[in-house]
């Protein structure tokens, strides 16, 4: 068995793991990334596309924001369609100038991978039989790579390996508690090289179910339909998808909609999931390994980014200043933000979707609530503040005291 030594072992090469690696590299902290999938698979995953301003700021600190600045689409508002009428929520006006940026998670991942390759930082892709061990005492990561056995001896392990990853699964059951809500529908998503139907996202509450008109660029669009969990992608031809989307839109948007062949089509189930705590000795969970939100609130990638902001600061504080305060507070700080984002995503999902179990009374109450929110400055401000992202402090790497 080959023995490797590093300060931080990062399990998972999605945006969370890559961003942590980039921030640690900028701080001069040694680390290794271990990923079970291939680099090509990781780079091709289609995921979220809305970045909060604090996430944009974090990518800037990591030095990987050039493509984001060149290709990202800043949005200062969103549209909500209900009862056949469009209502604009002016995010910037309601939050003191804050906005979101449309930039696909796939692009974020590619930017981080490119930066990592340029610096020739150590990553093991297609690692097999990955195991995390002794994380309450002397952490180790064991795996097989190209037919050889490896062991990484490290100070800390960062579990950034997603909902199905090995890190959370390795925690003793009596040390962890999980909270989960599974929704009785999914999102059928289509990616197509067609111009977006509108300059800003349109969230649709309709009698036929929820829809979302989103985008990845000025020439590539991402559309979603609420569908039963029993549906399969094969049930939905491109023509059927576009026809149903038109049925859920207002007449003006329907006329503007440009259709075309899909380049990706998938159905994603919706769930809310939280793990408490997010630290187990010298093992930290981050991103989807610790929590999942319904995509309605556009919080998944942004929550992963805030986890990494807290974790990277804690690790830099530990190595540069010799303080364990950030490490000890990591779980509590993350979970405060996680639960607020979970609440907002649950609320948006409840407000905009049709549930088969809801009575006509429930439906009328939901419409009244949405009418209140859209007709009230206080209501729209609450929505806008949560949508652009609740603030948290990003401690600049160069703000830490240099070790003497």
Beta-bridge partner residues of 292: 273
> pLDDT tens digit string along 118-139?
999 999 999 999 999 999 999 9
- What are the structure tokens assigned to 360, written together? 């006509």
Domain-embedded: residue 114 = yes
Domain-embedded: residue 211 = no
Q: Helices 360-375 and 325-352: crossing angle, nearest 10°? A: 110
Which distant-in-sequence residues (6+ apart) come within 8 Å of 156 by Cβ?
A: 7, 8, 9, 139, 282, 283, 284, 315
Domain-embedded: residue 396 = no
CATH of the domain at 41: 3.50.50.60
Q: What is the pLDDT of residue 178?
A: 97
Q: Could you tell me the CA-to-CA distances from 275 to 198, 257, 261 in Å, in that order?
A: 37, 41, 39
Q: Which domain holds residue 22?
A: 1-72+100-180+270-353
Which distant-in-sequence residues (6+ apart) come within 8 Å of 179 by Cβ?
A: 272, 273, 274, 276
Q: Please tell me the distance from the alpha carbon of residue 241 to that of residue 238, in angstroms, as a whole number.
A: 5
Contact present, 211 and 204 (Cβ < 8 Å):
yes
Q: Please tell me the distance from the alpha carbon of residue 326 to that of residue 315, in angstroms, as a whole number.
A: 7
Q: What is the pLDDT of residue 403?
A: 41
Domain-embedded: residue 12 = yes
Q: What is the pLDDT of residue 398?
A: 65
Which distant-in-sequence residues (6+ apart) come within 8 Å of 32 by Cβ?
A: 4, 6, 8, 9, 10, 122, 123, 124, 152, 154
Mean pLDDT by 10 residues, the chain (404 residues): 96 96 96 96 82 93 95 96 94 96 92 96 96 97 96 98 96 97 96 96 95 93 96 96 97 96 94 97 97 94 96 95 95 97 97 92 92 96 96 70 42
Domain-embedded: residue 108 = yes
Domain-embedded: residue 238 = no
Domain-embedded: residue 18 = yes
Cis peptide before 277 (omega within 30 of 0): yes
Positive or negative, the Cα torsion across 284, 290, 295, 298? negative
Domain-embedded: residue 174 = yes
Residue 74 CB neighbour total at 10 angstroms: 14
Q: Please tell me the distance from the alpha carbon of residue 294 to that of residue 345, in angstroms, as a whole number.
A: 6
Q: Please tell me the distance from the alpha carbon of residue 130 to that of residue 143, in angstroms, as a whole number.
A: 4
Contact present, 292 and 165 (Cβ < 8 Å):
no
Q: What is the pLDDT of residue 399?
A: 55
Q: Which sequence positions are flagged as catalytic?
A: 75, 203, 295, 299, 387
Q: Please tell me the distance from the alpha carbon of residue 265 to that of residue 234, in angstroms, as a whole number.
A: 9
The total domain count for the chain is 1
Direct distance between the N- and C-terminal alpha carbons of the chain, in angstroms, rounded to an integer: 37
- What are the structure tokens assigned to 390, written together? 């609740």
Q: Model-level pTM?
A: 0.93
Q: What is the pLDDT of residue 48?
A: 73
């Amino acid at each position: 068995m080959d023995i490797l030594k590093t300060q931080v072992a990062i399990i998972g090469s999605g945006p969370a793991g890559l961003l942590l690696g980039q921030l640690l590299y900028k701080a001069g902290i040694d680390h290794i990334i271990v990923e079970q999938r291939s680099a090509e698979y990781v780079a091709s995953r289609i995921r979220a596309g809305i970045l909060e301003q604090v996430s944009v700021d974090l990518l800037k600190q990591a030095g990987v924001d050039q493509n984001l600045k060149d290709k990202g689409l800043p949005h200062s508002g969103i549209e909500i369609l209900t009862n056949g009428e469009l209502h604009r929520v002016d995010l910037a006006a309601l939050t003191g100038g804050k906005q979101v940026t449309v930039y696909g998670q796939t692009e974020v991942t590619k930017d981080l991978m490119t930066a990592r390759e340029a610096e020739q930082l150590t990553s093991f892709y297609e690692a097999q039989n990955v195991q995390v061990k002794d994380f309450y005492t002397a952490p180790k990561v064991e795996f097989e790579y190209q037919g050889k056995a490896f062991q990484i001896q490290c100070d800390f392990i960062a579990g950034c390996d997603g909902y199905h990853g090995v890190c959370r699964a390795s925690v003793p059951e009596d040390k962890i508690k999980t909270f989960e809500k599974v929704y009785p529908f999914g999102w059928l998503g289509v990616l197509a090289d067609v111009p977006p139907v509108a300059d800003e996202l349109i969230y649709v509450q309709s009698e036929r179910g929820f829809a979302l008109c989103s985008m990845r660029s000025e020439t590539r669009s991402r559309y979603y339909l609420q569908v039963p969990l029993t549906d399969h992608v094969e049930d939905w031809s491109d023509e059927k998808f576009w026809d149903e989307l038109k049925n859920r839109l207002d007449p003006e948007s329907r006329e503007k909609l440009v259709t075309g062949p899909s380049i990706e089509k998938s159905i994603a189930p919706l769930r809310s999931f939280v793990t408490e705590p997010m630290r187990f000795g010298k093992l930290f969970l981050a991103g989807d390994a610790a929590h999942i939100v319904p995509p309605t609130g556009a919080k998944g990638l942004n929550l992963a980014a805030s986890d990494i902001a807290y974790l990277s600061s804690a690790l830099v504080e530990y190595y540069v200043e010799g303080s364990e305060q950030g490490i000890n507070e990591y779980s509590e700080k993350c979970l405060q933000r996680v639960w607020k984002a979970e609440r907002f995503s649950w609320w948006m999902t409840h407000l905009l979707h049709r549930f088969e179990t809801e009575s006509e009374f429930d439906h009328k109450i939901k419409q009244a609530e949405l009418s209140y929110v859209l007709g009230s400055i206080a209501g729209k401000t609450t929505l806008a503040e949560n949508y652009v992202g609740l603030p948290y402090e990003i401690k600049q790497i160069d703000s830490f005291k240099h070790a003497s």
